[in-house]
Amino acid sequence: MVTLNEFIINRQAEHPEARGDLSRLLHHIGVAAKIVNKKINKAGLVDILGEAGGINVQGEDVQKLDVFANDHFTAALQASGEVCAIASEENQEIVTFDEGLSRDGHYVFCMDPLDGSSNIEVNVSVGTIFSIYRRLSPEGEPAALSDFLQPGTQQVAAGYVIYGSSTMLVYTTGNGVDGFTLDPGIGEFCLSHPGIRTPDAGRIYSINEGNYVHFPMGVKQYIKYCQEIDPASGRPYTSRYIGSLVSDFHRNLLQGGIFIYPETQSAPKGKLRLIYECNPVAFVAEQAGGSATNGRIRTLQLTPEGLHQRVPFYVGSRNMVEKAHEFLNTYH
């Protein structure tokens, strides 16, 4: 069984020119994931459920686990010495590490520390999503906002942790996607899903149909298409929606499917945030052979305008995203 650290060292050996700093950073992400996982596994027995009090920049009630995950990933990233600043769903502005090793870190880190917060209370899978860029600002100076507003194509690594029936770390550094399952008996993430490829076609569509009346006409027509009876194309498809992006995406990544969060009345630009939800998930999707768009262009080509910018999100099996686009282009 290959552990995460062995895998990182083996990959590192394939790139002798690399300094090893991304490898060290990935190791620290694994450590933070184990700490958060330990807490989540006891949620309900320790004071980690419910609201922390306060509203975050998204206007959401902050959950205790949002804060716990944010604090522990921030601490692990600072300890790694490889990251000079972070952007998080839970922080209004970027947090720069201005002293010690971290000040000269070569990377900036974007994260959704706890994705699917509404599911914590009811014991449904949640996750952590992360995205890593090389800093653009001069070393020795505090990181700049512009370090975080790079298009998703510039990501050097991205992935997610899913705290589910088992805890998995899934990530890419641009050479495919690999999945590691935590073996709690030895406290190690072990390679369980090498070289994940997502099926070109799938039979699962994931969307919150509660927002149907506010969907763009193209989305309404695509949903109708998914529900029509046509055995030759495997329709009607199956509707699956968990309400945690990481969980819905991970299931579709492995089985094939499409996840859509379009514009709605309450979220006229979509709900999901570009730099710490859509871009990292899009990078993983594309590296696994899938695609991700805002309904028109590749998510990874969007130039972020702000840390918490929201965009419509269509992600998953290539053929399904293309079919959804056909309906968006036909119906306005």
60 vs 121 by CB, closer to ligand AHG = 60
Q: Which residues bind ligand AHG (CB under 6 A)?
A: 60, 89, 112, 115-117, 208, 243-245, 271
Q: Is 80 annotated as a binding residue?
A: no
135 vs 271 by CB, closer to ligand AHG = 271
Taking residues 61 to 100 in sequence order and writing x for each that binds Mn ion by CB under 5 A, - otherwise, the string is: ----------------------------x-----------
The one among 21, 51, 60, 322 contacting Mn ion by CB under 5 A: 60
Q: Is 230 annotated as a binding residue?
A: no
129 vs 196 by CB, closer to ligand AHG = 129
Q: Is 248 in the site for Mn ion (CB under 5 A)?
A: no
Joined together, the tokens standing for residue 90 give 């839970």
Return the half-sphere exposure (C-beta side, CA atoms, 13 A cut-off) of residue 4: 25
Q: Which residues pair with residue 180 across a beta bridge?
A: 169, 191
Contacts to Mn ion from residues 93-132, by CB under 5 A: 112, 114-115, 117
Q: Is 178 annotated as a binding residue?
A: no
Q: Is 56 annotated as a binding residue?
A: no
Number of residues interacting with Mn ion: please give it, by CB under 5 A: 6
Residue 208 interaction partner, one of Mn ion, ligand AHG, none, beta carbon < 5-8 Å per kind: ligand AHG
Residue 271 interaction partner, one of ligand AHG, Mn ion, none, beta carbon < 5-8 Å per kind: ligand AHG
100 vs 268 by CB, closer to ligand AHG = 268
For the annotated binding site for Mg(2+), the residues are 89, 112, 114-115, 277
Binding site, annotated residues for substrate:
115-118, 208, 241, 271
User: Which residues form the interface with Mn ion (CB under 5 A)?
Assistant: 60, 89, 112, 114-115, 117
